[in-house]
């Protein structure tokens, strides 16, 4: 029965591209464009058709992790791209709408991240072995979207370009005090202190990140200018000349947006500047993939610009610049995936084969979403006074900027 139901659902879903499915009983069926080259999928678990009907996204990811579903040539990118492009069609499939409505109904619960829950959510992902992240990140451990100012940039060059692009938007002067909300492994804070002469307070909820960032500051001789604290951003007091947050806002959750931007307002000096760098969606407010919530980023959510803007307005902050990066993160994820695959034996030694399949699925699923499903990156600059930044963006693009970026 479940094979027949899944067969009907797949016939409704796939209007472009082609999918060939071999069911657990050995039956093979084809869906989509008859003239297209199909992505070939084989299911070996008799329970999988039922699971895919009842909870498609969770079941698909778990089946790939467990090798109960295999893809010809391990073309998981092809499968996910096919699924995403068909799911995003304007003529929405009725059974997809039911699942979306159920997810919308519980999204405030999924995104409820008070301090204690936020700490547990962060530990789930960021307190994994530091050796894992060394396998696919750049040497500075930048775990956010790189900035490919030119297409031929290496990952290291593009991550350095990202940091300096953000620094330019912060309009830094030597001696300023900077508050970094979500400091990661310390790379941004150390760059700002070393290259721009500022003092930085960086906060994180990850014990692993805090430990490594503190060690890096000491090794660089910057402990007198950079301080990392294991604490929630909401508990910080005082005011700062600049506030920066890179790749942390995705973990805040819509119920806490007003608190986040109220904190930015209250921690920012009257002539201060803040820059929030976050993954965003070009579509209206939505929900997070249940597989991503369960296995990768519990409590995570990618905001629509309308959701951010409403909270910024209510906090009394002035939006002074909004920049949208489109395929930069897709390229970043491609680099990360390829590096991870090249080091997969080392990752398997740290964890196991199931973890490696999960991580490859995660990286490719995210890349495909940026390429085919409207995700992007927002860089949202804001102030308490509109005169705090220049009236044009010329200051971001001095004549020698491309040469300086390429030299990094």
pLDDT for position 101: 61
Are residues 280 and 320 both part of a single domain?
Answer: yes
Are residues 124 and 101 both part of a single domain?
Answer: no
Domain-embedded: residue 163: yes
- Give the angle 248-296-120 at the CA atoms, nearest 5°: 65
Kindly calculate the radius of gyration of the chain based on its CA atoms and give it in whole angstroms.
22
Domain-embedded: residue 110: no
Are residues 83 and 195 both part of a single domain?
Answer: no
Are residues 236 and 87 both part of a single domain?
Answer: no
Are residues 88 and 170 both part of a single domain?
Answer: no
Domain boundary among 87, 105, 123: 105
Owning domain of residue 88: 2-105
158 pLDDT exceeds 70? yes
CATH classification at residue 361:
3.40.50.150
Are residues 90 and 224 both part of a single domain?
Answer: no
Task: Tell me which of 145, 183, 366, 376 is the catalytic residue.
Answer: 366
Are residues 66 and 120 both part of a single domain?
Answer: no
Residues 370 and 363: their CA atoms lie apart, in Å, by 11
Are residues 87 and 172 both part of a single domain?
Answer: no
Instruction: Categorise residue 187: left if φ over 0, alpha if ψ from -120 to 50, beta otherwise.
Output: alpha
Locate 171 and state its tokens: 């309009």
pLDDT for position 397: 86
95 pLDDT exceeds 90? no
Domain boundary among 83, 105, 127: 105
Residue 88: pLDDT band (50, 70, 90) is confident
Are residues 252 and 203 both part of a single domain?
Answer: yes
The total number of structural domains that make up the chain: 2
Cβ-Cβ contacts under 8 Å for 278 (sequence gap 6 or more): 245, 247, 248, 249, 250, 302, 303, 308, 377, 378, 380
Domain boundary among 71, 105, 139: 105
If you average pLDDT over residues 273-284, what whole number do you get? 96
The verdict on whether 356 is a catalytic residue reads no
If you average pLDDT over residues 261-284, what whole number do you get? 97
3-state SS class at 92: coil
Query: Would the pTM count as exceeding 0.85?
Result: yes
The helix or strand, by DSSP H or E, that contains position 242, with its residue range, turns out to be strand 240-246
113 pLDDT exceeds 90? no
Residues 210 and 191: their CA atoms lie apart, in Å, by 16
The helix or strand, by DSSP H or E, that contains position 90, with its residue range, turns out to be none
Domain-embedded: residue 380: yes
Of 188, 192, 179, 196, the C-alpha closest to 144 is 188
Are residues 15 and 135 both part of a single domain?
Answer: no
């Amino acid at each position: 029965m479940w094979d027949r139901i899944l067969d009907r659902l797949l016939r409704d879903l796939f209007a472009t591209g082609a999918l060939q499915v071999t069911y657990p009983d050995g039956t093979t069926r084809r869906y989509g464009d008859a003239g297209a080259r199909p992505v070939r999928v084989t299911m070996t678990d008799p329970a999988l058709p039922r699971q895919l009907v009842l909870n498609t996204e969770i079941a698909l990811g778990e089946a790939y992790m467990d090798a109960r579903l295999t893809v010809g040539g391990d073309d998981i990118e092809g499968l996910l791209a096919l699924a995403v492009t068909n799911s995003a069609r304007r003529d929405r499939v009725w059974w997809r709408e039911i699942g979306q409505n159920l997810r919308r109904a519980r999204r405030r619960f999924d995104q409820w991240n008070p301090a204690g829950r936020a700490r547990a959510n962060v530990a789930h992902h960021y307190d994994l072995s530091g050796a894992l992240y060394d396998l696919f990140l750049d040497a500075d451990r930048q775990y956010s979207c790189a900035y490919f100012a030119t297409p031929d940039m290496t990952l290291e060059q593009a991550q350095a370009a990202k940091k300096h692009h953000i620094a330019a938007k912060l309009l830094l002067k030597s001696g300023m005090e900077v508050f970094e909300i979500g400091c990661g492994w310390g790379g941004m804070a150390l760059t700002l202190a070393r290259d721009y002469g500022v003092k930085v307070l960086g906060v994180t909820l990850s014990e692993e990140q805090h430990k490594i960032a503190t060690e890096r500051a000491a090794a660089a001789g910057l402990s007198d200018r950079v301080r990392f604290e294991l604490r929630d951003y909401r508990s910080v007091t005082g005011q700062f000349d600049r506030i920066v947050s890179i790749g942390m806002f995705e973990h805040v959750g819509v119920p806490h947006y007003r608190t986040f931007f109220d904190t930015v307002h209250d921690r920012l000096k009257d002539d201060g500047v803040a820059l929030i760098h976050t993954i965003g969606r070009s579509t209206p407010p939505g929900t997070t993939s249940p597989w991503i919530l369960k296995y990768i980023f519990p409590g995570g959510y990618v905001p629509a610009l309308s959701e951010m803007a409403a909270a910024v307005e209510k906090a009394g902050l002035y939006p002074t610049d909004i920049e949208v990066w489109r395929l930069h993160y897709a390229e970043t994820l491609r680099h990360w995936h390829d590096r991870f695959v090249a080091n997969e034996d080392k990752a398997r030694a740290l964890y196991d084969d199931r973890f490696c399949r999960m991580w490859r699925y995660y990286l490719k699923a995210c890349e495909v979403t940026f390429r085919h499903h409207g995700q992007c990156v927002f860089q949202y600059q804001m102030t308490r006074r509109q005169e705090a930044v220049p009236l044009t963006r010329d200051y971001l693009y001095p004549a020698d900027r491309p040469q300086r970026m390429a030299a990094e």
